[in-house]
Amino acid sequence: MPKPLVAILCPKEFRFTDHAATIETPIVADAADVKTLWLDYHSPFPAEVFDATAIILWHGPLVDAGIIARLKNCRAIIRNGVGFDTVDTTAAAQAGIPVCNVPDYGTEEVADHAIALSLALYRQLFPLDAEAKRLGWKIATQHKMRRLSTQTFGLVGLGRIGTATALRAKALGFRVVFYDPYVPSGVQKAVGVARVNTLDELLRVADLVSIHCPSTTETRGMIGEKEIARMKPGSFLVNTARGDIVKKAPVFAALRAGHLAGAGLDVVEAEPLRTAEEAATPNLICTCHAAFCSPEGMVEMRSTSARIARAAVLGEAVWNRVN
C-alpha cells in the first residue's frame, strides 16, 4: 500500500528553495512520503492536498472552513511558525483536526530583533549613519538619544518572546513593565518586572511600547488612533509580532506630527509597505518581517513541524495544539 502523505504547502511568493524538503524528509520518511507543493496565494489547492494525512503550511495559504471540509484523511495541520491566523481553527476543531504551531523556534531571534530596533531608535543609529555619510557631524538627533536607565520599556504580551525581550531589556537597564491579561498572577515576580492591569495604563507610563502578542480577533487593530494618542509624546513604538495588531495610518501620522519620536516595525498592516509616501515616513525603521530569521531557527522550526507531522501520521499525540 502507498505511504501516507505529508504535504508541505508553500506560496510561490515565498522564495523557498529546498524543493527536496531535506530537513523534513529524514524525520518523516519511515512513516510517510513528503511532498512540497507551490501555490499561488489564492489558487485552488491541488487534489493531492485533500488526501494528505498531515499538512505543513509555510506563510499561508488560507485554510478556511471550505478547505477543511474537503480534507479526507488529515490528522494535523501544522503552521511553520508562531502565527496560525491563516487557519480556521474552529472549523478544524469541529472536524477533529488538530491545528499546531511552532511557538518557540524563533524566541531568541525575535527578542533580539525587538531589542535591536529599540536600541537603533534610542541611539538614533540610522540618522547618525546618514549624517556621517553626508560628511556631516552635527548630531542633529541628539535630543532623541536617552539614557536607557531613565526609560520605561513597556511590553504588550509576556509569552515566550515577550519574556525573552523583557529579560534583555532588564539587562540593558530599562525599567520593564508589561500588560497581559492571560499571564497568571505572580509571573511578574518570577521574571522581576512590573505589571499593569490595563493597556491604557501601559501606554501612559511606557517610553517605548513593544508588541508581543498573537494576531487574534481580540488583538487585531488593538493599537489604533486612540491608543497612539495615549502614548507619551516623544515615545517609541516597536512591533515584531503581527502587522494587523497595529494600524499603520495613525502610526505614520503620529510620526509625521512628531507625537511619536520613532517606530521600529518588522511587520506592518497589509505588508509590505505600499507606497513611496509610506516609505518616506520620518523616524521610521522598517524591516522585512525578518525578525525570526536565522539558519538555526529555520532548522529548529522545520524539524519541529516534521516531528509533529510524523506523530500525527503514526496516530500519536501531537503537541503545540492551538484549537
pLDDT tens for each residue of 234-293: 999 999 999 999 999 999 999 999 999 999 999 999 999 999 999 999 999 999 999 999
Q: Are residues 96 and 211 in the same domain?
A: no
Same structural domain, 119 and 267: yes
pLDDT at 40: 78
3-state secondary structure of 267: coil
The set of residues, in sequence order, having a beta carbon less than 8 Å from that of 295 and lying 6+ positions away, is: none
Residue 8, classed as helix, strand or coil, is strand
Tell me the percentage of the chain whose pLDDT exceeds 90: 86
128 and 36 in a common domain: no
Catalytic residue (choose from 146, 220, 289, 307): 289
- Catalytic entry in 113, 175, 195, 242: 242
Reference 284, options 258, 306, 304; nearest CA is: 258
- Nearest-CA neighbor of 196 among 153, 235, 229? 153
Asked if pLDDT for residue 112 goes beyond 80, the answer is yes
Report the domain count for the chain: 2
Is position 192 within any domain?
A: yes
Q: Are residues 98 and 116 in the same domain?
A: no
Structural domain includes residue 203: yes
Question: Which domain CATH number covers 64?
Answer: 3.40.50.720
CA 313/CA 214 separation, integer angstroms: 28
DSSP-based three-state secondary structure for 70: coil
Residues 249 and 161 in one domain: yes
Q: Which residue in the list 108, 271, 278, 300 is annotated as catalytic?
A: 271
Residue 200 and residue 60 share a domain = no
Adjacency order of strands within the sheet including 33-39: 33-39, 5-11, 54-57, 76-79, 99-100
Q: Is 271 a catalytic residue?
A: yes
For the segment 140-161, the average pLDDT, to the nearest whole number, is 96
Q: Is 296 a catalytic residue?
A: no
Residue pair 178/201 in contact by the 8 Å Cβ criterion: no
Q: How confident is the model at residue 129 (pLDDT cuts 50, 70, 90)?
A: very high
Q: What is the DSSP letter of 54?
A: E
Does 323 reside within a domain? no
pLDDT tens, residue by residue, 36-46: 998 876 778 99
Q: What is the mean pLDDT of residues 105-119?
A: 96
- Residue recorded with cell 497581559: 180
In this structure, the answer to whether residues 178 and 189 fall within a common structural domain is yes
Q: Are 235 and 267 in a shared domain? A: yes
Which residue range forms the structural domain that includes residue 189?
A: 107-286
* 9-67 pLDDT tens trace: 987 766 667 878 999 999 999 999 999 998 876 778 999 999 999 999 987 678 999 99
Q: Residue 149 — φ and ψ, nearest 5°? A: -70, -10
Contact 156, 212 (CB under 8 A): yes
For residue 91, is it within any domain? yes
Residues 168 and 51 in one domain: no
Cell numbers 512591533 correspond to 239
Question: What's the average model confidence in pLDDT over 297-306?
Answer: 95
Say how far apart CA 73 and CA 179 lie, in whole Å.
41
Examine the domain organization and report whether 73 and 194 are in the same domain: no
Please check whether residue 29 lies inside any domain of the structure: yes
Determine the average pLDDT of the residues in 112-124.
98
The amino acid that residue 156 corresponds to is V
pLDDT tens digit sequence for 182-231: 999 999 999 999 999 999 999 999 999 999 999 989 999 999 999 999 99
Crossing angle for the helix pair 107-122 and 125-133, to the nearest 10 degrees = 60
Known active-site residue 168: no
In a domain, 65, yes or no: yes
pLDDT, averaged across the chain: 95
Residues 116 and 191 both lie in one domain? yes
The answer to the question of residue 59 being in a domain is yes
Examine residue 26 and state whether it is found in any structural domain, yes or no: yes
pLDDT in the model for residue 16: 67
Rounded Cα–Cα distance for residues 162 and 261 (Å): 23
Contact 265, 239 (CB under 8 A): yes
Cα dihedral 222, 199, 286, 258 sign: positive
Strand-pairing partners, residue 239, are 211, 265
Residues 120 and 195 in one domain: yes
Question: pTM above the 0.85 mark?
Answer: yes
